[in-house]
A and B are shown apart, each in its own frame.
Chain A
Amino acid sequence: RKEVEQDPGPFNVPEGATVAFNCTYSNSASQSFFWYRQDCRKEPKLLMSVYSSGNEDGRFTAQLNRASQYISLLIRDSKLSDSATYLCVVNGRGSGYSTLTFGKGTMLLVSP
């Protein structure tokens, strides 16, 4: 099983749609989880952290399911500007350091 696995997509959705991405991880000892957003040919940027209780930031909701080892990102009311690749990032802590493992990303295309 790959360390961090994502459906590469692309997910093609119309403006206003709700879309969800999942990401699975193999290291059950992983401590924390993130979603990064990467626009075409640009650097990844932190979108949001994922907390055990789930968290919401505007139109974005992140959920964590430790038992099944997956995290999800839900985007409501999609905008054209949401078109990007979304990277799932898992942090497997060693003793006193964190190791970030990046998924390969899921591409989202929002059309008018």
Chain B
Amino acid sequence: EAQVTQNPRYLITVTGKKLTVTCSQNMNHEYMSWYRQDPGLGLRQIYYSMNVEVTDKGDVPEGYKVSRKEKRNFPLILESPSPNQTSLYFCASRVNRAEETQYFGPGTRLLVL
């Protein structure tokens, strides 16, 4: 089954404790991205990657890092989480940067205390 998977789905952590949210897709998509969704603010793109070893900042990259060492994986790293990073995070992928149809992972709900 073609899908985007994320782990963990739910996470409670404390300020400053580094964490990684994994994202994996099995559709051989070149383009992957991370969004956060907050009430009243909608979906905002954090980072995106157009292919292996190619990443770039989205609209709200501060406090986040990403890497794209393999085509299928695109982890999101919070080196020193803060409470304002409490949010619902979605990973997404599409065939390539020109393609429009985007597939989302199931989401990761993060609470930073």
A91 to B107, CA, bound (A): 22
A61 to B90, CA, bound (A): 28
List of A residues within 8 angstroms of B80 by Cβ: none
**Interface residues in A, total, Cβ within 8 A:** 20
A34 to B42, CA, bound (A): 16
In contact, B104 and A44 (Cβ under 8 angstroms): yes
Q: A87-B43, A104-B41, A104-B42 are in contact. Are A97 and B98 (CB under 8 A)?
A: yes
Inter-chain residue pair count (beta carbon < 8 A):
41
**Interface residues in B, total, Cβ within 8 A:** 18
From 86 to 113 in chain B, residues with beta carbon under 8 angstroms from any chain A beta carbon are 88, 90, 97-102, 104-107, 109
Interface residues of A (CB under 8 A from B): 32, 34, 41-46, 49, 87, 91, 93, 96-98, 100, 102-105
Interface residues of B (CB under 8 A from A): 40-43, 50, 88, 90, 97-102, 104-107, 109
